[in-house]
Structure 1
Amino acid sequence: MSDITPKFLKPAESSSFLDRKETNLSYESTEFIFNRNISQSVQVQRQKLPIFRNRSHILYLLEKYQTLVLVGETGCGKSTQIPQYMIEAEWPGTIGVCQPRRIAAISLARRVADETSTQVQGSHVGYAVRFDACTIQPKIKYMTEGILMREMMADPLLSTYSAIMLDEVHERTLYTDILMGLMKKILKKRKELRLIVASATVDARELKAFFNSNDGTNKSMDTAAILSVHGRQFPVDVYFIKEPIPCYVQGVIDLVVKINNSKEPGDILAFLTGQEEVDRAWRVLKEHANLLEEEDKKNKMFVLPMYGSLPNMEQLKVFKFAPDGYRKVVLATNVAETSVTIPGIVHVIDCGFVKLKWFNNDTHTDSLMLLPISKASANQRAGRAGRMRSGKVYRLYAEKDWPRMADATPPEITRTNLTYVLLQLKALGISNILEFDFPSPPPLANIKSALEILYALDAIDIRGELTNPLGFNMAEFALDPMYSKVLLSSGEYGCSEEILTVISMLQVETIFVKPLSGNNSIKARIKKRMFEVEEGDLITYLNVFSGFMNNDMQQGFCQRNYLNYKSLKRVVEIRKRLEKMLVNYGVPLVSCGGFAETVCKCLVTGLFPNAAYLHHSGVYKTVRGDIELHVHPDSSLYTITQPQWVLFCEVLHTTELFMRDLTVINSEWLLELAPHFYHRTTSF
């Protein structure tokens, strides 16, 4: 690589044991016993993992302390082996392992099932993610953090679990911080419950202090301990780029082609920021791969996308080995950053950016912002190359930029909309949110804004208690409270069928394919116009879904109309799940028969905080906060005469603040349906 300068990345230093005297003790009472069904080769592989040397220490510390803060480098085996060690030591009850992302939960469950020669979703190993959960309680249960939150609503003390492992806490997602606060309360009630807080990069002493119920006067009374697991399995060489590149997406594409043309073996994992960029790079590289096949070249490529809204079966394809004679190329968002071991990966390409949500109190919305990644995230991405063998990481930013990068990504709870989280905490019986023990307390302004929105949605009353039944029903949905309010109100407006479709379509990132080439780009725009209507993007989505279903969900229909087939299949799956929930709550499934105004009016019942009007200066402004906004170029309203009033679902912050997923409304509907939030004034 002539334009890349090499630099070897040394394994990160990790803190030593907190108490040498204690950790030098062995766990004599437990004898290491493998499941007899496990093959000899699997046993050997497990014993080679760095975590294996610490097995006795882990079991001893779990016996003595309620909380174990485990700092283990990427690839040490903590996510798969610790639950197995506990089961082999005849630990009672279910061992729950929480992951930030559903693909990690599914892949880890399958990995452990393979190692134990059992069936996934059986009595030994299972997983639970949104819209896909195990039917029986297994001994080892991998799940997303949101699933554990929902289980707490039915069983606040988690009585069926003997241990909970919060994995990848360094990501500090919204649910990670909430779960740590809730687990601290549960541990006080259940002294026999054990908590493992695991991460590759985390401030262990800060977390120990958070969970330790001892005041510090007597060290022997500590309830939390720290254990470090040293040693990444394989070394990783890191390369920085010499000169800045104008477009990191094109840079990723060019670098993939360069690596593939070289004689260096191994599969490639490239990180991008979102589904749209992944799909764009995938289409270009797919065309290149097809040309290589036609020319019968030796360096053939097997290109796969990977992002959160991709259907489970499509995501799991990346874990399969490429066919003989092919090099696997995985284009992923940060879902592949942690807890996911993709076999065969040797080369990792880091674009250096990530999309983060940032809450704006003035607009009451989360803005998606494109930001440089932190050092912790960069090291996590680098670790993907050292899981199966020694690897190489190519960073598309200069070495001089490294010292200026943030050490860690700010916790999500300090920068995001809290309406859904506060709704769930209320459902769990946390009446005074301000007294809840957050590991990183969110800004008071964000809490105030969230409570204001929940009150406006009629989810809580003036005393801050959940309303019955609306508030409790809204808490059951794994959706933004604005969307759940629209769903639960749809029966009254006689358009629940249409609202189900609209809300389901909003759960995927994009449904339209945007080709890069000139002719195809024009054709795609013409095809999109066939679905567009003057009422806005959400009614346009109704037309798209209707066409997809009327054509029997055929992939050919999507190809002809430049639609994302995988996303639409995911929409069908989500819609079926939401439909079942509406039926359970007694919401009638009725259609408005194509009367778009009814659908738009129903949307106002939940999305009224996201209203904007056309200012005389020619730009849109929010009704509350007076923030200047612009119509996104991908919107169906971008090329027509701008309507006076619109609702938006999302704000994207790039060069300007852009509104996405728009719906045209009547200003009188805001006064009629949200008089507690809006009122008419006269300006002089």
Structure 2
Amino acid sequence: MSTKIKFIAPGDSSWQEDRPDIDAHSSTQFVYNAHHSLALNLQRQRLPIYKNRSHIIYLLDKYQTVVLIGETGCGKSTQVPQYLLEAGWCADGKMIGITEPRRVAATSLANRVADERGCVLGTEVGYSIRFDDSTDSSTRIKFMTEGILLREMMGDPLLTNYCIIILDEVHERTLLTDIIMGLLKKILRKRKSLKVIVSSATVDAQELCDFFNSNTKKNSAKDTATILSVEGRLYPVDIFYVDEPVADYVKAVVDTALKIHEDEESGDILAFLTGMDEVDRAVSLLQDHAKIVKEGKLKMMPLAMYGSLPNSEQLKVFWLAPRDTRKIIIATNIAETSITIPNINYVIDCGFVKIPWFEIETQTNSLIIAPVSKASANQRAGRAGRVRSGKAYRLYSEEAYNELIDANPPQMQRSDLAPAILQLKALGIDNVLRFNFPSVPPSKNLIAGFELLFALGAIDKNGDLTKPDGVTMAEMPLEPILAKCLIVSGEMECSDEITTILAMLQVQNVLIHPGGGQASIKARIAHRKFEVAEGDLLTYLNIYTAYEKYKSSGWCQKNFLNVKALKRATEIRTQMRKLMKSIGIKQASCDGNVKQLLKCITAGLFPNAAYLHYTGVYKTVRGNKDLFIHPNSCLYTLQQPQWVLFVEVLQTNKTYMRELTVVEAGWLEELAPHFFQRTSIESH
């Protein structure tokens, strides 16, 4: 019996005569899907990782841990999970879990893989991030943030739902990455069937391999971990340096981009800056220049890229620009390794990066601007050589490059360890000091973490997790100080307002601040309608309360508010209230009792107290560090209050406090007598 095969051109509907059950629309969709699927398969096969497919499967069968090293864009994150699924690793119903340091990476990669698999997102391929779970019982490839995997370990210490765990972007060496590696090392001893892939673009592979091989018994000659390097598809990149240091690297980035646009042939430009404010400033300057491009000349399309940008805006950097237009993408270090932007031929490296830093003396977390490492500088330059020979312009001298450190220290060695200690305690790690970290944290940071948790009532004097507060705080996907606020809100009967405030703190850029001109003045006037003398947190409450009343994009646009951020805050608040209900925290409203609400905030944020010094600057209670009110705070233009609480500290040319709340000195002694004493308050 023979079967006839008929090839159909796009748009040809003659074959419908044999299949009258399919209408014209369905047939068009069928042809489109077939061509789309074929294009994706061809694209997948062209990736450098494709020829290593059999090697990955073989090594994973032979070893428990594989350290996979490959350039960003070679297909590690999207292809390896699919190879393993196709090889039958999920035949027993278990999942392949892939962890990402950033939420944007987890969601965008899940979308990409679901598209390649031809399935609806949330079925065979899904993702799980804080306050957003898009998976079901049929999910086999699950992208998630590192924090989600850590919380799953609490309920399932041996991760029995997973057959393979892929740790992606390990070179970033976040706090959670190191904790997870330490925990997986313990799990691998108990569960021999579990496999781990440690995936990275730039990292000391041998160091990680040795870390996992130390699982092997001394009398055993067989290693449990091995290394596989994937060659990237990288074209040569010419590096250019400046002769003299630049005074303003944001302006220098804009000037360099304009010079490239004027003198160089076609190809998109990717420029690196340190944070959202700098990126928006540079994009605004480039947009002004884009408006005055002469007719017939190559046009400019300036675009921003950073983690807190709305998803619709992030996707624009991946779109193909019109033929007569050049994209100029200004990004933070998210574009260094987490995402691969196509058609980049020119890279501008400002030479700096923003990293979190914990100060022992003042017990404060800061975001500081520091020089990049050599590894980061080379990774940035490599973005220019993805499609053809490229050029990288470094806004620092060659001598300065030679003086850079090889790699930035892991976050474990420069962070507040209180959240890490809390998680480890909840996972049953009694002796945190002897826990096997890939990078040993400073003892002072560990002591400071224990002190903070003790002050918050999460651990007792013996270092054990308290019940119920300590256990409840560990279950919440919030910073310990914010989790404490949520717990106390049930007792103080203001949980409705606190969940709204905490949800608003989980999103960024609620207030839109235009770069300058009339729009900036209008935005300032619009924002004043919501501002209160009690500080930013109650201002956020006012904004959300007003948004709930109107809930329209036009109203948000008129008041210079980010509608996507407010919608996201609504989702988070709903999830937070479900969590409260599950752990038994009373839901109630304070009905406008502002003092009661401020006291609840004080009960959690009391370690972040600052007072107004007679010199006119704020100082931390511990360490006497100079602090200033951030220009975007509603308190910036008001009379300076005597005592404030802050959520975070931002280090630029000054050290700024963000998300402020005005409190009374007496509340600190009343609500945290173990932390504040009358003598210290009187002396200030």
User: How far 1:157 sits from its partner (Å)?
Assistant: 0.6
Structure 2 residue aligned with 1:430: 429
Structure 1 residue aligned with 2:181: 180
The equivalent position to 1:85 in structure 2, one of 83, 86, 106, is 83
Normalising by structure 1, what TM-score? 0.87
CA contact (8 A) 1:282 1:303 kept: yes
Secondary structure of the equivalent of 2:679?
coil
Q: Kindly provide the amino acid, as one letter, of the partner of residue 533 in structure 1.
A: V
User: How far 1:208 sits from its partner (Å)?
Assistant: 1.4
Structure 1 residue aligned with 2:140: 139
Normalising by structure 2, what TM-score? 0.87
User: How far 1:438 sits from its partner (Å)?
Assistant: 0.4
CA contact (8 A) 1:245 1:251 kept: yes
Q: How does 1:163-174 map to 2 (within 5 A)?
A: 163-174=164-175
User: How far 1:482 sits from its partner (Å)?
Assistant: 0.6
Q: Supply the distance in 2 between the matched residues of 1:397 and 1:600 (Cα, whole angstroms).
A: 47
Q: Kindly provide the amino acid, as one letter, of the partner of residue 54 in structure 2.
A: S
- Structure 1 pair 582/321, CA: closer, same or farther in 2 (3 Å)? farther
1:621 aligns with 2:619: yes
Q: Deviations over 1:464-483 (max 9, x none)?
A: 22222322222222211111
Matched residue count: 645
- Structure 1 pair 407/445, CA: closer, same or farther in 2 (3 Å)? same
Q: Supply the distance in 1 between the matched residues of 2:638 and 2:112 (Cα, whole angstroms).
A: 52
Q: Kindly provide the amino acid, as one letter, of the partner of residue 126 in structure 1.
A: G
User: How far 1:416 sits from its partner (Å)?
Assistant: 0.8
Q: Deviations over 1:342-399 (max 9, x none)?
A: 2333333322211111111222220111111111122222233333444333322222
Greater Cα shift, 321-330 or 163-172: 321-330
Q: Supply the distance in 2 between the matched residues of 1:207 and 1:557 (Cα, whole angstroms).
A: 52
User: How far 1:664 sits from its partner (Å)?
Assistant: 1.2
1:149 aligns with 2:147: no
Q: Kindly provide the amino acid, as one letter, of the partner of residue 595 in structure 1.
A: N
Q: Kindly provide the amino acid, as one letter, of the partner of residue 598 in structure 1.
A: Q
CA contact (8 A) 2:72 2:340 kept: no
Secondary structure of the equivalent of 1:590?
coil
Q: Kindly provide the amino acid, as one letter, of the partner of residue 91 in structure 1.
A: W
Structure 2 residue aligned with 1:536: 535
User: How far 1:559 sits from its partner (Å)?
Assistant: 4.1
Greater Cα shift, 596-605 or 298-307: 298-307
Secondary structure of the equivalent of 1:337?
helix
Q: How does 1:40-439 map to 2 (within 5 A)?
A: 40-92=38-90, 93-123=94-124, 125-136=125-136, 138-213=139-214, 220-262=221-263, 264-289=265-290, 299-323=298-322, 325-439=324-438
CA contact (8 A) 2:164 2:196 kept: yes
1:517 aligns with 2:516: yes
Secondary structure of the equivalent of 2:668?
helix
- Structure 1 pair 195/429, CA: closer, same or farther in 2 (3 Å)? same
CA contact (8 A) 2:189 2:215 kept: no
Q: Supply the distance in 1 between the matched residues of 2:177 and 2:581 (Cα, whole angstroms).
A: 31
Q: How does 1:480-629 map to 2 (within 5 A)?
A: 480-554=479-553, 556-629=554-627
Structure 1 residue aligned with 2:633: 635
Q: Supply the distance in 2 between the matched residues of 1:603 and 1:616 (Cα, whole angstroms).
A: 26
Q: Which runs of 5+ in 1 are unaligned?
A: 1-35
Greater Cα shift, 240-249 or 211-220: 211-220
Secondary structure of the equivalent of 1:151?
helix
Q: Supply the distance in 1 between the matched residues of 2:335 and 2:602 (Cα, whole angstroms).
A: 37
Q: Supply the distance in 2 between the matched residues of 1:459 and 1:187 (Cα, whole angstroms).
A: 29
- Structure 1 pair 261/549, CA: closer, same or farther in 2 (3 Å)? farther
CA contact (8 A) 1:309 1:570 kept: no
Q: Kindly provide the amino acid, as one letter, of the partner of residue 280 in structure 1.
A: R
Q: Deviations over 1:593-622 (max 9, x none)?
A: 333222211100100111122233433222
User: How far 1:112 sits from its partner (Å)?
Assistant: 2.6
Q: Supply the distance in 2 between the matched residues of 1:365 and 1:382 (Cα, whole angstroms).
A: 34
Q: Supply the distance in 1 between the matched residues of 2:154 and 2:310 (Cα, whole angstroms).
A: 27
Q: Supply the distance in 1 between the matched residues of 2:229 and 2:626 (Cα, whole angstroms).
A: 49
Secondary structure of the equivalent of 2:329?
strand
Q: Supply the distance in 2 between the matched residues of 1:167 and 1:507 (Cα, whole angstroms).
A: 24
Q: Deviations over 1:569-601 (max 9, x none)?
A: 443333333233233334344333333222211
Secondary structure of the equivalent of 2:622?
coil
Greater Cα shift, 609-618 or 325-334: 325-334
The percent identity for this pair of structures is 57
- Structure 1 pair 549/153, CA: closer, same or farther in 2 (3 Å)? same
- Structure 1 pair 164/491, CA: closer, same or farther in 2 (3 Å)? same
Q: Kindly provide the amino acid, as one letter, of the partner of residue 318 in structure 1.
A: V
Q: Supply the distance in 2 between the matched residues of 1:583 and 1:375 (Cα, whole angstroms).
A: 49
Secondary structure of the equivalent of 1:531?
coil
Greater Cα shift, 79-88 or 259-268: 259-268
CA contact (8 A) 1:275 1:510 kept: no
Secondary structure of the equivalent of 2:139?
coil
Q: Kindly provide the amino acid, as one letter, of the partner of residue 609 in structure 2.
A: A
Q: Supply the distance in 1 between the matched residues of 2:316 and 2:345 (Cα, whole angstroms).
A: 18
Q: Kindly provide the amino acid, as one letter, of the partner of residue 248 in structure 1.
A: Y
Q: Deviations over 1:87-145 (max 9, x none)?
A: 2322243222212112222222233333333333222x222222322322522222221
Structure 2 residue aligned with 1:647: 645
Q: Supply the distance in 1 between the matched residues of 2:631 and 2:191 (Cα, whole angstroms).
A: 54
Q: Kindly provide the amino acid, as one letter, of the partner of residue 446 in structure 1.
A: N
Q: Supply the distance in 1 between the matched residues of 2:482 and 2:271 (Cα, whole angstroms).
A: 33
Q: Which runs of 5+ in 2 are unaligned?
A: 1-33
CA contact (8 A) 1:107 1:316 kept: no
